[in-house]
Amino acid sequence: MKSLKLLPVDLSLLGLMLLCTTFAPLPKPKVHTIEISQMQFKPATLVVSAGDTLVFVNRDMVSHNATEQSGTSWKSPTLASGDSWRMAITKSAAYYCSFHPTMKGEVKVE
Amino acid sequence: MKAVSSTTLWATGILLFVALLAAPASAQESPKLSDAEVASVAVIANQIDIDQARLAQERSENEAVLQFAQTMINDHEAVIKQATDLVQKLGVTPQENAVGKQLQDDAAKTAKMLKTKSGAAFDKAYVENEVAYHQAVISAVEDLLIPESENEELRGLLESIVPALQTHLEHAQMLQNQLNEK
Ligand SMILES: [Cu+2]
């Protein structure tokens, strides 16, 4: 009987194939910046992929925050002038600033 | 002039000044307010809203009204800090004047009226006054203080606070609707 033998070349090929099937279909997560200026979230509507990162940056002189609409999912800390806050986003969400409830934004996860 | 729909004293007070002073300014006459006077009016206008909000914190028990009052204190304090930093940088000493005096006189009358009220009646009166006050201040900033500012940085600061005043106005109007539904 002849035993099954893999040459080093075959092994590396196999490894490469495994790597490809495991990682290739996933695109690299992106970072999206939402600027808060002149009392607005800019852009007010943003389309992202699950696992992307949002960065909120406050460019106003007054403090703001970003609060998920239902108030139960996520909420940034108070962002003073110049502060920023990042979060990974997995679900579509409408959000607002709890200090200025007429300031609103939306993130759609596709 | 728009925004004269409000019947409160803010309309008769500041808006009259704006109408009187803004007219010659828009006709390219020499300014009626110096930058030192503009800075003084700006600080007074912000301080008045902080004082009214402190009154609300003492007298209101409505969570939404209390949160609004806290936002007014935080935001108007931030504006005063920017204005104070700027006048220091420019070497300007804010100078008292008739417009600021009129604002303070009207604010004293409003505070006196608000102190006679409590509970839901206070909330309605406070929020109604906030709507009228922000309308009047937006007019004063846009039609008087900005045109009267000679220094570009001072004008820039005044222009940058208009969106916040507008947001406060919409917030107050939202509260007004909520209180009227009850
Ligand atoms: Cu805000």
In chain B, which ranges are continuous DSSP H helix? 9-26, 35-59, 63-90, 98-114, 119-140, 146-148, 152-181
The three-class DSSP label of residue A97 is: coil
Q: Dump pLDDT digits (tens) for B12-57.
A: 566 556 555 545 444 444 448 999 999 999 999 999 999 999 999 9
Question: What is the pLDDT at residue A26?
Answer: 67
Q: Dump pLDDT digits (tens) for A19-74.
A: 555 555 667 889 999 999 999 999 999 999 999 999 999 999 999 999 999 878 99
A55–chain B nearest CA distance, Å: 22
Q: Dump pLDDT digits (tens) for B92-138.
A: 999 999 999 999 999 999 999 999 999 999 999 999 999 999 999 99
Q: Which amino acid type is present at position B147?
A: P
Q: Which domains does chain A have, with CATH numbers?
A: 31-109 (2.60.40.420)
Which among B54, B48, B50 has a CA at the least distance from the CA of B14? Answer: B48
Say how far apart CA B136 and CA B138 lie, in whole Å.
Answer: 6
Contacts of B78 in chain A (CB under 8 A): 61-63, 81
A87–chain B nearest CA distance, Å: 25
For B34-181, which CATH superfamily applies? Ferritin, core subunit, four-helix bundle (1.20.1260.10)
Find out whether A52 and A30 touch, Cβ atoms under 8 Å. yes
Q: Do B171 and A60 touch (CB under 8 A)?
A: no
Sheet of A67-68: strands edge to edge?
A45-48, A104-109, A93-96, A67-68
Question: Which residues are CB-neighbours of A53 under 8 A, at least 6 positions away?
Answer: A29, A30, A31, A32, A86, A87, A88, A89
Q: Dump pLDDT digits (tens) for B62-92.
A: 999 999 999 999 999 999 999 999 999 999 9
Residue in the block written with tokens 């290739």:
A24
Q: Where are the domains of chain B?
A: 34-181
Question: What is the pLDDT at residue B5?
Answer: 38
Q: Do A61 and B71 touch (CB under 8 A)?
A: no
pLDDT surpassing 90 at residue A7: no
